[in-house]
Structure 1
């Protein structure tokens, strides 16, 4: 069995210094972490349009990939919607690999070296995250940030599900939401006339003529190159699923700039997104009002940037603001930590709610980036899904032509958010909601197929619905994107539709 253990060994060595009590548990979690990341990588190899894969041949005993150089890579049949780790090893010609970093290294594909290192970090960080869990995770949380921190394994389909490049073990433990820390945010004083501000910047984050811009401590040390406590005041906060967004003590959430690569992207805050934030917030509130109470969009309270993506922050209300008595607001990614998705009836009810809202909003002219982190569901006291909450408007798409068709005035927007391209709009919603949030909640192609079968006849007969149920499902080609550093923007793969194939 061929392995590439450098990242695993590095984390083990650091762990021996900072948390020796976790060392044995970390070692015990490594095989499962390798399988989890290898399963995600195998999905990509089986379904993404990678240029060095010349052919795919399913057979009775699994799937064989023919590489452009003549080698053969063999593994199990690949369910593109499975979230459980089912790939223990794959075979490249006659050599077996249970380690995704070692496999990618020996595949020797363009740009594979850096991605292999990221896969190694993903395995090691995932094992560390699992090792640090306690025995009380089965209890349903009361606070919004506690729900966020239940998502231990990260992105359900990205091989870099738990990659933390640039973070030491001590920093992972101190800042990673899966480790449940309290993070002390610094604030950088910046003259107000040197900033772009939209919305209302709160008085408690002002000092006379200066704004106090919240800064993540990792950003302070590694990017701004100053200790976190050398700025203005500090505030204790709880990190949410995205790591760079944190819940403040009085309820609002703050998204901070974090110039580190997590999964696919460097997490800064562009001047462009700050400039549009207030307009988008007000506009989406008016659209949510058309959803018959089935959708709320968290309001952006204020956003500020010192005209730099490395020094900016966005304040928005907590989704918990939309919970009624006895209700809970749960990020869709956290649903898998409950028993709810195991019920076919519950999964169908949730699927019906999500598709009704998503397709109706798409018809009006807005495609949500409705993956499991941005999309939340309001659960009744009995656990029934009753409505949705959406947050983070930075990557939605808005169609002026569709808005005009429905007599809705288009907001003053520019740049990437604005498009009338039907393919772009559908990819945005279908790829995030169906191939992302719903698939991640269902956990398998068979479960997703059952949920879609139960709701397909209940949805309005629009052209978007016809496309959703009549074509392969789009999904971001996450591995192809990591192996194509010179290609900007999203790249896409087509997954076999659960209702149109017998693979599952």
Structure 2
């Protein structure tokens, strides 16, 4: 077996100085973390349109990739909808690999070195995250919104860099990573109002006379803004790390100029400018969902001249829970026993597809992955309604909206399209290949849930496309092998409804 000790050893060395008692557990978690990341990587290698994979040859229980340089890469037959660590070793040439970072290095294709560093960091940080867990039972039901989000330890269920946090030391991962359950002290940075872009109703408690006070993530303050903050505000980090919950108050989305999974998490000035208009617009299609969907409102947004110092204040999804109900991100469902029931999973798929297809028909394609999409559960755990947050990546079709008498406001041009393929990719790639697949945990479970749910959905061209076409998904591995290519890139997965 090949090993890539760099990231793993660096984390171990830091951990020995920060929390030495955790070192044995960290080392014990490394094999499982390698397998978890290797499983995600193998999914991408097996399905993404990588230019140096010239042919894929299924055979028996495995799959062989024929590479442009004549080498052959062999692994198990992939389940593109499986979560967890089902791939423990693949074979490249004459060597076995259980370390995904070493495999990426030895593929020796363009951008291998940079991607291998991200993958190695993903393995090491995932082992660190798992080692620090005290555990929870699937029948435990947290009371706070942040406690649900902090149960999600492994990050993105299908991304090879699911836990990569380059630029974060071990101490900073413990201090800011939601799975470590810290309380984060946001800095408060005052700026003159005339130097700020402010939209929505900026709260009075975040004003100081003529100055606007912006919450800033402490990592951003130290590493990017290079400043200290005298005033602070206690908050709990949510699963995106840069968004935090104020106890009893709104969620605060901060700029964080670090690459987490695929993207640098800043907040563009265009997003700040459009936030209020977009929030008001989103309430219109939501109002036509027969009460099955709520959109969290953007309360205010501000930027002090740069995406490096910008913030969005958003309504907590808990606002939409009645007495006894709970609201949790779809990604957290896998930490409960609920998806293990085929009937429950079918009910949830039926609800999610009804809402997603209805909004798509109206002209709004949601980025409904497991982080943006939340579910309202009854006291008995039944899926009742959905809540959607973070409107920055939706797509809007003027032609479809016009058919339903809805006018498109002045939105950023990247959000507006009438291209049906783009609209369907946005919804199906995030909802079916993302949220539903991640909840189901396997292709067989996903197919069973969809087969039970789809006959109850209203017919239409979008549903027909979902049933007939391959399922689109973001080509997450290809995107990291081609970091200079702008925008999303896509792969096609075998349809679970085939």
Task: Output one character per residue of 1:352-407: Cα deviation in whole Å (capped at 9) or x when no partner.
Answer: 00000000000000000000000000000000000000000000011111100111
Counterpart check, 1:349 vs 2:347: yes
The residue aligned with 2:160 is 159
Counterpart check, 1:183 vs 2:181: no
The residue aligned with 2:51 is 51
The residue aligned with 1:453 is 451
Distance 1:286 1:408 in 2: 8
The residue aligned with 1:199 is 200
SS in 1 for 2:274: helix
SS in 1 for 2:346: helix
Structure 2 counterparts to residues 14-25 of structure 1, below 5 A: 14-25=14-25
The residue aligned with 2:72 is 72
Task: Output one character per residue of 1:385-431: Cα deviation in whole Å (capped at 9) or x when no partner.
Answer: 00000000000011111100111122222320111111111100000
RMSD of the alignment, in Å?
0.8
Structure 2 counterparts to residues 70-219 of structure 1, below 5 A: 70-138=70-138, 139-219=140-220
The residue aligned with 2:437 is 439
Distance 1:307 1:22 in 2: 42
The residue aligned with 1:362 is 360
The residue aligned with 1:261 is 259
The question of whether the paired residues in 2 share the 8 Å contact of 1:197 and 1:302 is answered with yes
Q: CA deviation at 1:249?
A: 2.1
The question of whether the paired residues in 1 share the 8 Å contact of 2:270 and 2:412 is answered with no
The question of whether the paired residues in 2 share the 8 Å contact of 1:137 and 1:150 is answered with no
* Match for residue 475 of structure 1 among 466, 469, 473: 473
The question of whether the paired residues in 2 share the 8 Å contact of 1:320 and 1:328 is answered with yes
Distance 1:225 1:483 in 2: 31
SS in 1 for 2:486: coil
TM-score in terms of structure 2 length? 0.99
The question of whether the paired residues in 1 share the 8 Å contact of 2:152 and 2:335 is answered with yes
The residue aligned with 2:320 is 322
Distance 1:64 1:373 in 2: 33
The residue aligned with 1:277 is 275
How many residues are matched?
497
Q: Which runs of 5+ in 2 are unaligned?
A: none
Distance 1:302 1:135 in 2: 37
The residue aligned with 1:301 is 299
Distance 1:462 1:166 in 2: 47
The residue aligned with 2:337 is 339
SS in 1 for 2:215: strand
Q: CA deviation at 1:461?
A: 1.1
Distance 1:366 1:196 in 2: 27
Distance 2:188 2:37 in 1: 36
The question of whether the paired residues in 2 share the 8 Å contact of 1:125 and 1:162 is answered with yes
Q: Which runs of 5+ in 1 are unaligned?
A: none
Distance 2:214 2:73 in 1: 50
Q: CA deviation at 1:137?
A: 5.0
The question of whether the paired residues in 2 share the 8 Å contact of 1:25 and 1:131 is answered with yes
Distance 2:2 2:389 in 1: 43
Distance 2:483 2:261 in 1: 14
Q: CA deviation at 1:223?
A: 0.3
* Match for residue 288 of structure 2 among 287, 290, 297: 290
Task: Output one character per residue of 1:169-228: Cα deviation in whole Å (capped at 9) or x when no partner.
Answer: 00000000010000000011111111111100001111111111110000001000112x
Q: CA deviation at 1:61?
A: 3.5
Task: Output one character per residue of 1:103-123: Cα deviation in whole Å (capped at 9) or x when no partner.
Answer: 000000100100000000000
SS in 2 for 1:381: coil
Question: Which segments of structure 1 move beyond 6 Å, counting only runs of 4 or more?
Answer: none
Distance 2:21 2:412 in 1: 52
The question of whether the paired residues in 1 share the 8 Å contact of 2:90 and 2:97 is answered with yes
Distance 1:153 1:135 in 2: 13
